Structure 1
């Protein structure tokens, strides 16, 4: 009797590879280690992913999607408050960056592994960062910022700073300060009274793996 194909094998391989890439980086993980830990054969892995590069791209795409899922969950309660959404995004990143085991943004961390500008992994990483900046600019425009580009760039720099400092400082990071800076920047950009911290707190709960 022929063995039925394991419909979850691709997801299992990707989950194992994602955990290993997250911990060691793409350069620090070999395919044999992924094969051993996922419990699949070499032929099965190559059936699902034609090469290590293809597997890395799938991992990075998962990280990219995790980020946008985080954003959507964070801003959903503030659908009519784009200024508050910008602050809430910084709060979500702040909380995540101070969580145990945080290692920084996996997309940015993976960039040095792909110096070729036309490599699919590098293109995905660059496209992700442009898309993230475009999203922040759109929210800044909706909030009525006098200079949406400048406000979006300030928020982006805060996010990148949290990713960098959180990987080193952990729970001793500058999350509360980053949220305060974000609130001040948004308030100054939109004019008028000081913008209230979303949900009445300096932090916004955030799920998912670090990204």
Structure 2
């Protein structure tokens, strides 16, 4: 008789996978390692996820949803002020680099591990980064940027540099310049918009 997954099995698998993938990288973690770490049987794991690619994609979709929930939490207090929302998001990203369990951006990391554009992990990572760029572009347009696409691209370069340098050199390295650099970019593209000081 087939075993019925206990309530929370999928959640436990995803949480454990998130920890392992974050600490070791996706390619370094095998399905047997996930089985051993979660304590679920092989059949239960494969009942929830047909294979590793499906598990990686599900993990990134959940990571994306959690990331946007956090982004909404830090930007919602500045509703109606797109410039302040952009800078609040940058401060949030800067703060995330200081977390003790920060091992780099899971989306950039996964994308670098899988070069095939058709790989589910790379596709999910790309969707997240495209959504972030779109968000920055839309906020730039609302703020009156003359070239919201250019502004979004410049900010994406800062974000990528912040996350990459923060993981390798720490928040006291080049990453420390990210919030101020983002503010300079916003001032350049939105010269007629007042840049409010950060909320203490």
TM-score relative to the length of structure 2: 0.92
Give the structure 2 partner of residue 148 of structure 1: 148
Question: Which blocks of at least 5 consecutive residues in structure 2 are unaligned?
Answer: none
Question: For the residues of structure 1 that align with 2:186 and 2:19, how far apart are their CA atoms?
Answer: 36
**How many residue pairs get matched?**
199
Identify the residue that residue 208 of structure 1 maps to in structure 2: none
Distance in 2 separating the partners of 1:5 and 1:36:
16
RMSD: 1.9
Is residue 2:164 matched to residue 1:164?
Answer: yes
Q: Distance in 2 between matches of 1:152 and 1:171?
A: 23
* Residue of structure 2 in register with 1:26 after alignment: 26
What does residue 184 of structure 2 align with? 184
Structure 1 counterpart of 2:44 = 44
Residue range with higher mean Cα deviation, 3-12 or 141-150: 3-12
1:25–1:109 CA contact under 8 A, matched in 2: yes
> Matches of 1:61 and 1:138 in 2, distance apart?
22
> Is the 1:184–1:194 Cα contact (8 Å) retained in structure 2?
no
- Rounded to whole Å, the distance in 2 between the matches of 1:4 and 1:120 is 27
Aligned to 2:11: 11
Question: What does residue 64 of structure 1 align with?
Answer: 64
Higher relative contact order (CA 8 A, sep 6+): 1
Task: State the shift of 1:100 in Å.
Answer: 1.9
Partner of 1:114: 114
Contact 1:91–1:175 at 8 Å: present in 2 too? no
Aligned in 2, Cα 1:188/1:113: closer, same or farther, shift over 3 Å?
A: closer
Instruction: Tell me, yes or no, if the aligned pair for 2:161 and 2:175 is still in contact at 8 Å.
Output: no
**Runs of at least 4 residues of structure 1 off by over 4 A?**
2-5
Contact 1:98 1:175 (8 Å CA) reproduced = no
User: Is this contact kept in 2: 1:158–1:182, CA < 8 A?
Assistant: yes
CA 1:115–1:183 in 2, change beyond 3 Å: closer, same or farther?
Answer: closer
The normalised TM-score by structure 1 is 0.87
Provide the residue aligned with 1:205 in structure 2: none
In structure 1, stretches of 5+ residues that fail to align are 201-211
Structure 1 pair 4/62, CA: closer, same or farther in 2 (3 Å)?
closer
Native 8 Å contact 2:147 2:189 kept in 1: yes
State the Cα deviation string for residues 37-56 of structure 1 (Å, max 9, x = none): 10100001011111111111
Partner Cα separation in structure 2 for residue 116 and residue 85 of structure 1 = 34
Give the C-alpha shift of residue 166 in structure 1. Answer: 0.7
